[in-house]
């Protein structure tokens, strides 16, 4: 196996106490290893040892190799040289690595210089490395943050800047200490997505964590190996998805309390050129993380409502997203067209088109966007080889799932999906509805699902009806046997 990190017989002792006892590891490029166990099990000691380091009073034995380079048993200067550009470390608290008296940009440049060289001749290479690190850390759309001191950054920005400092040297392996502990569900999901993209780009990851639900969610997106420690010994190893099972919270649990409105619609009216009213005086409020189904007979005005929410048809009245007019903000509201085939360009691979919003609207590098697209499509039951075809090579149901995936990769505040399950069988409909619920719960996205499908309607938190161009009382629930 082509390993970027090889550990053999790793031991750690403090006085007469064994802290680690004979740990063996092999990590391939892009592999993800989650190290779990109770406090005092040896996780932090293992994490430091993978960097060639140990706490005061601890003695290491065995071998830790990055590629063909040994990290143990060398002096500190040699260790820094051997580790540069090969192993990175993201501590639990970003303040540990962010210099409080220096702007973050010059620090990134200095770190890039350890790999790409100093002086004017190497400026272009350093600039590329810094820009790529900011992109991969999720700061590509905010380059101005590199001109700020750490105290001028929010907590989330500090965490991402610390990750940028870790990535700027282009390490093969990154050791992350409790990367999700103490974070709210939305931020946790963002971190998990970032880790998924890093691994898909070939960076091997070692997560030291107590957060098993985060490991479960990560394992739902890509293969994750679990190593469980107890008293310094490996007591369990294997695929995390098999050992841990699904995340503990119910699929329908929203990420937010429901008290914060993200979509507010007042007196929304749509008329066509001959004066015919298609939608009249619609009022609608959807909370952050809310999942609302829009039901009603054909021709009632459901699609007109959805298109007006997305700004695709002229209207009067107001539509506000997060308190602001979404016009001009292409990311605020994403719309999934009922005719999904016509929404794709014939001459480009579907996977490329699905990944494109993450590049255009979120500033992700193409490789990271593609990795996120692959992971999401696989959760929806669409493998990479199939998604790599042009639209003509996919079925209507496959294009329907790809269309939803494309909209989700923009990370909108509001997703409007028009008949997004109409071409799906039971299994793939369930996968898509699970993904929509997960998006509500973890990303805080508000979902408006227009549908005739009683199973899809039943999956929502609530239902509004449209009759004769007006939002009416909520329809009665479908009988249980129809669900």
Mean pLDDT along residues 240-260: 60
> In CATH, what class is 261-482?
alpha beta
What is the structure's pLDDT at 250?
Answer: 38
What is the structure's pLDDT at 449?
Answer: 97
pLDDT tens for residues 263-291? 999 999 999 777 788 999 999 999 999 99
Mean pLDDT along residues 97-124: 87
Q: Is 22 left (phi over 0), alpha (psi -120 to 50) or beta?
A: left
pLDDT tens for residues 321-355? 999 999 989 999 999 998 888 899 999 999 999 99
Domain 261-482 in the same topology as domain 5-244? yes
CATH 3.10.129.10 for domain 5-244: no
Instruction: For residue 275, give Cα distances in angstroms to 79, 111, 279.
Output: 76, 64, 12
Helices and strands, number each (H, E), in the chain: 15, 19
Alpha carbons 65 and 7: distance in angstroms, whole number: 6
Give the pLDDT band (50/70/90) at residue 256.
very low
What is the structure's pLDDT at 424?
Answer: 84
Instruction: Tell me which of 129 and 255 has the higher pLDDT.
Output: 129
pLDDT tens for residues 386-420? 999 998 888 888 999 999 999 999 999 999 999 99
Surface-to-core class of residue 390, CB atoms within 10 Å of its CB (0-12 exposed, 13-18 middle, 19+ buried): middle
What is the structure's pLDDT at 93?
Answer: 65
Alpha carbons 420 and 403: distance in angstroms, whole number: 9
pLDDT tens for residues 432-475? 999 999 999 888 999 999 998 888 999 999 999 998 899 975 44
- Which of 96, 95, 11, 110 lies closest to 61 in space, CA to CA? 11
Mean pLDDT along residues 132-149: 84
What is the structure's pLDDT at 258?
Answer: 41
Give the pLDDT band (50/70/90) at residue 194.
confident
The yes-or-no verdict on residue 481 having pLDDT over 50 is: no
Give the pLDDT band (50/70/90) at residue 139.
confident
pLDDT tens for residues 211-222? 788 899 899 888
The yes-or-no verdict on residue 483 having pLDDT over 60 is: no
What is the structure's pLDDT at 477?
Answer: 42
What DSSP string describes 325-384? --TT-TTTEEEE-SS-GGGS-TTS-HHHHHHHHHHHTT---HHHHHHHHHHHHHHTT--H
Could you tell me which residues come within 8 angstroms of residue 167 by beta carbon, excluding any fewer than 6 positions away? 88, 132, 133, 136, 137, 174, 198, 203
Could you tell me which residues come within 8 angstroms of residue 345 by beta carbon, excluding any fewer than 6 positions away? 353, 391
**Average of per-residue pLDDT values in the chain:** 86
Alpha carbons 282 and 467: distance in angstroms, whole number: 11
What is the structure's pLDDT at 90?
Answer: 87
Tokens of 106: 């010059």
- Kindly state the DSSP code that residue 145 receives in the 8-state scheme: G
Alpha carbons 369 and 360: distance in angstroms, whole number: 10
**Domain range annotation of the chain:** 5-244, 261-482
pLDDT tens for residues 14-41? 888 888 999 999 999 999 999 988 766 8
The yes-or-no verdict on residue 1 having pLDDT over 60 is: no
């Amino acid at each position: 196996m082509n390993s970027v990190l090889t550990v053999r017989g790793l031991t750690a002792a403090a006085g007469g106490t064994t802290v680690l006892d004979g740990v063996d590891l092999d990590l391939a490029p892009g592999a993800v290893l989650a190290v779990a166990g109770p406090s005092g099990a040896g996780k932090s000691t293992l994490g430091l040892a993978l960097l060639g380091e140990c706490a005061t009073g601890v003695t290491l034995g065995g071998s830790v190799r990055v590629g063909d380079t040994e990290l143990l048993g060398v002096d500190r200067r040699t260790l820094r040289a051997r580790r540069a550009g090969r192993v990175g470390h993201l501590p639990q608290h970003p303040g540990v690595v962010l210099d409080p008296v220096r702007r973050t940009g010059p620090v990134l440049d200095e770190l890039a210089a350890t790999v790409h060289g100093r002086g004017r001749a190497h400026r272009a290479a350093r600039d590329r490395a810094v820009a790529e690190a900011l992109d991969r850390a999720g700061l590509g759309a905010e380059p101005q943050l590199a001109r700020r001191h750490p105290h001028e950054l929010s907590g989330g920005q500090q965490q991402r800047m610390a990750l940028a400092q870790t990535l700027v040297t282009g390490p093969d392996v990154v050791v992350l200490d409790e990367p999700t502990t103490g974070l709210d569900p939305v931020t946790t999901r963002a971190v998990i997505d970032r880790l998924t993209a890093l691994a898909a780009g070939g960076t091997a990851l070692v997560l030291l964590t107590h957060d098993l639900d985060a490991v479960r969610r990560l394992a739902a997106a890509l293969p994750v190996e679990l190593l469980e420690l107890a008293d310094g010994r490996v007591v369990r190893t294997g695929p995390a998805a098999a050992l841990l099972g699904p995340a503990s919270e119910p699929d329908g649990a929203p990420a937010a309390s429901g008290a914060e409105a993200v979509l507010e619609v007042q007196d929304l009216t749509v008329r066509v050129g001959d004066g015919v009213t298609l939608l009249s005086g619609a009022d609608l409020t959807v909370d952050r993380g809310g999942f609302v189904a829009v039901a009603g007979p054909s021709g009632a005005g459901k699609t007109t409502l959805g298109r007006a929410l997305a700004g695709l048809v002229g209207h009067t009245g107001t539509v506000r997203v997060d308190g602001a007019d979404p016009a001009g903000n292409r990311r605020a509201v994403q719309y999934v067209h009922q005719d999904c085939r016509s929404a794709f360009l014939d001459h480009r691979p579907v996977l490329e088109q699905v990944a494109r919003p993450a590049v255009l609207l979120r500033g992700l590098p193409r490789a990271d966007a593609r990795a996120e697209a692959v992971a999401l499509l696989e959760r929806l039951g669409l493998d990479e080889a199939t998604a790599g075809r042009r639209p003509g090579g996919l079925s209507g149901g496959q294009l329907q799932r790809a269309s939803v995936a494309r909209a989700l990769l923009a990370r909108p505040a509001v997703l409007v999906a028009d008949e997004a399950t109409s071409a799906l069988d039971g299994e793939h409909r369930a996968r898509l509805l699970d993904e929509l619920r997960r998006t509500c719960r973890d990303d805080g996205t508000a979902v408006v699902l227009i549908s005739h499908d009683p199973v899809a309607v039943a999956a929502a938190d609530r239902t509004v009806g449209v009759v004769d161009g007006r939002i009416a009382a909520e329809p009665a629930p479908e009988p249980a046997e129809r669900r």
